[in-house]
């Protein structure tokens, strides 16, 4: 019988282990050890980008049924050679005045195509759809991201900064853009054109749809929107004040007969307006919370919690911020412009005063292994997808739109 004298001998007797196994290992397997660990990333990619498209979202969309429209640019005035007044006042038994008519002008635009193409090699697409490999980059995952990106690109078209395109020296004539027309160019005036473009020797930069040459703001003010500068002088920056806002809205009411129904501006302008009214002790405070009803491709949300969206409002008019709103035209002290839009159908004609006229709504196309003629249609062993939208930004009532520019901190 083996005599047991220590606890180690007792454990060895019963457990039978080698004490050498308890010594510290020299080379443990770690996650960094080659060939032992591979992370699974999954089929989704979280975009670390702001893809908000608020301007595109708030503008009504409606079908492209015609490419032109007529606008009345001047009221008629009666001749007084029959003894009547210019407004039609007539003496008892007086003669009928000569007939009159208003002044009309025709405007026409053309639809534009906005595209966003993308592709993956057929090897990548086959692995993404048939293998168990951890893959991002097949058409399926690209399509999910590009659908949102396409809308964000349209938003950036709508909020392009016109002043940044005007040459600072030399002469140049704007001939139009392939992008959807910018709100900054549509909502402008003869005075802004003169101050920013004409004075630098350039022309037509504030004429929307310049390729069709139907609007020339240098020729008169009939297509003017209300354009105010925070400083009082277009092209010179100033601090936004309540007086400027009230004057701005008053001018729009006088010109158009009604208030705009939505403000649109940069987050910097939004913050400046918050700072303008937050300390206010006036009752009622012009700054408050309201519900705004949004048009998305012609479909309106209901007003109400959970189906509408809560936004801040100024004098009862909702404010929608967008990251793409013009915020700096080469001057670091400028924080942007504040647009006032009237997207209503005030005339009841079935067309919004400003919106996006859609010829072909956003569609998605693929040319893949399943397509007839592949790979010759792509001229490569590559599978392609593309989003396409055909339409144009259209304004039928310039007087009801406005903007405050040259806003600084």
**What is the per-residue pLDDT across 104-121, written as a single tens digit (0 to 9) for each?**
999 999 999 999 999 999
Q: Which of 365, 340, 352, 366 is nearest to 297 (CA)?
A: 352
CB 387 within 8 A of CB 147: yes
Is residue 199 pLDDT above 50, yes or no? yes
% of the chain surpassing 70 pLDDT? 85
pLDDT at 169: 76
Q: What is the pLDDT of residues 51-70, one digit of tens each?
A: 799 999 999 999 999 999 99
Query: Please, are residues 191 and 227 in contact by the beta-carbon 8 Å criterion?
Result: yes
Please determine, for residue 371, whether its predicted confidence score (pLDDT) is greater than 60: yes
Sheet of strand 61-63, all strands in order from the earlier edge strand to the far edge: 61-63, 354-367, 382-395, 112-121
Distance (Å) of CA 126 to CA 136, 140, 142, 372: 12, 11, 14, 17
Residue 258: band (very low, low, confident or very high) from pLDDT cuts 50, 70, 90: very high
Cα angle: 284, vertex 288, 294; to 5 degrees:
135
- Please indicate whether residue 239 or residue 371 has the higher confidence score (pLDDT): 239
Q: How many helices (H) and strands (E) does the chain have?
A: 8, 18
Q: Return the minimum-mean-pLDDT range out of 248-257, 345-354, 361-370.
A: 361-370
Percent of the chain with pLDDT over 90: 56
Confidence band of 40 (pLDDT split at 50, 70, 90): low
Segment 280-291 mean pLDDT:
53
The Cα angle at residue 15 between residues 10 and 19, in degrees rounded to 5 = 80
- Does the pLDDT value for residue 324 go beyond 90? yes
The per-residue DSSP string of 197-227 comes to IGGGTEESTT-TTGGGT---GGG-STT--EE
Residues 159, 161, 167: CA angle, nearest 5 degrees: 155
Q: Average pLDDT in the 261-271 region? A: 93
Three-state SS at 12:
helix
pLDDT value at residue 409: 84
Q: How confident is the model at residue 310 (pLDDT cuts 50, 70, 90)?
A: very low
Q: Which residue has the higher pLDDT, 175 or 12?
A: 175
Candidate ranges 6-10, 162-166, 400-404; pick with highest mean pLDDT: 400-404
Question: Binning pLDDT at 50, 70 and 90, where does residue 377 land?
Answer: confident
**pLDDT of the residue at 298:** 38
DSSP assigned state of 399: G
């Amino acid at each position: 019988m083996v005599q047991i004298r220590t606890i180690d001998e007792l454990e060895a007797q019963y457990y039978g282990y080698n004490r050498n196994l308890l010594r510290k290992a020299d080379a443990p397997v770690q996650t960094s050890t080659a060939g032992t660990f591979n992370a699974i990333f999954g089929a989704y990619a979280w975009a670390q980008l702001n893809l908000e498209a608020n301007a595109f979202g708030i503008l009504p969309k409606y079908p492209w049924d015609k490419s032109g429209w007529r606008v009345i640019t001047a009221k008629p005035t009666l001749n007084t050679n029959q003894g009547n007044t210019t407004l039609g006042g007539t003496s008892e038994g007086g003669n009928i005045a000569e007939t009159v008519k208003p002044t009309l002008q025709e405007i026409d635009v053309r639809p534009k195509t906005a595209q966003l193409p993308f592709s993956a090699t057929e090897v990548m697409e086959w692995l993404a759809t048939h293998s168990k490999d951890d893959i991002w980059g097949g058409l399926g995952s690209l399509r999910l991201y590009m659908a949102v990106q396409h809308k964000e690109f349209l938003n950036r078209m709508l909020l392009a900064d016109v002043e940044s395109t005007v040459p600072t020296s030399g002469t140049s004539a704007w001939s139009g853009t392939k992008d959807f027309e910018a709100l900054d160019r549509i909502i402008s005036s003869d005075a802004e054109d003169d101050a920013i473009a004409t004075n630098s020797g350039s022309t037509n930069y504030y004429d929307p749809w310049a390729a069709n040459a139907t609007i020339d703001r240098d020729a008169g003010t009939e297509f003017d929107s209300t354009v105010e500068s925070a400083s009082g002088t277009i092209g010179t920056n100033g601090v936004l004040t309540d007086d400027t806002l009230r004057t701005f809205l008053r001018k729009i009411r006088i010109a158009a007969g009604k208030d705009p129904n939505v403000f649109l501006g940069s987050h910097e302008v939004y913050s400046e307006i918050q700072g303008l009214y937050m300390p206010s002790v006036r009752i009622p405070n012009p700054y408050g919370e309201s519900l705004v009803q949004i048009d998305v491709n012609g479909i309106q949300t209901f007003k109400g919690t959970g189906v509408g969206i809560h936004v801040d409002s100024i004098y009862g008019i909702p404010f929608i911020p967008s990251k793409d709103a013009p915020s700096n035209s080469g001057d670091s002290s400028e924080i942007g412009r504040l647009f006032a839009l009237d997207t209503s159908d005030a005339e009841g004609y079935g067309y919004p005063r400003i919106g996006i006229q859609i010829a072909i709504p956003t569609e998605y196309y693929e040319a893949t292994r399943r397509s007839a003629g592949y790979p010759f249609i792509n001229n490569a062993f590559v599978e392609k997808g593309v989003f396409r939208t055909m339409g144009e930004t259209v304004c039928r009532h310039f007087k009801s739109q406005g903007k405050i520019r040259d806003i600084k901190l």
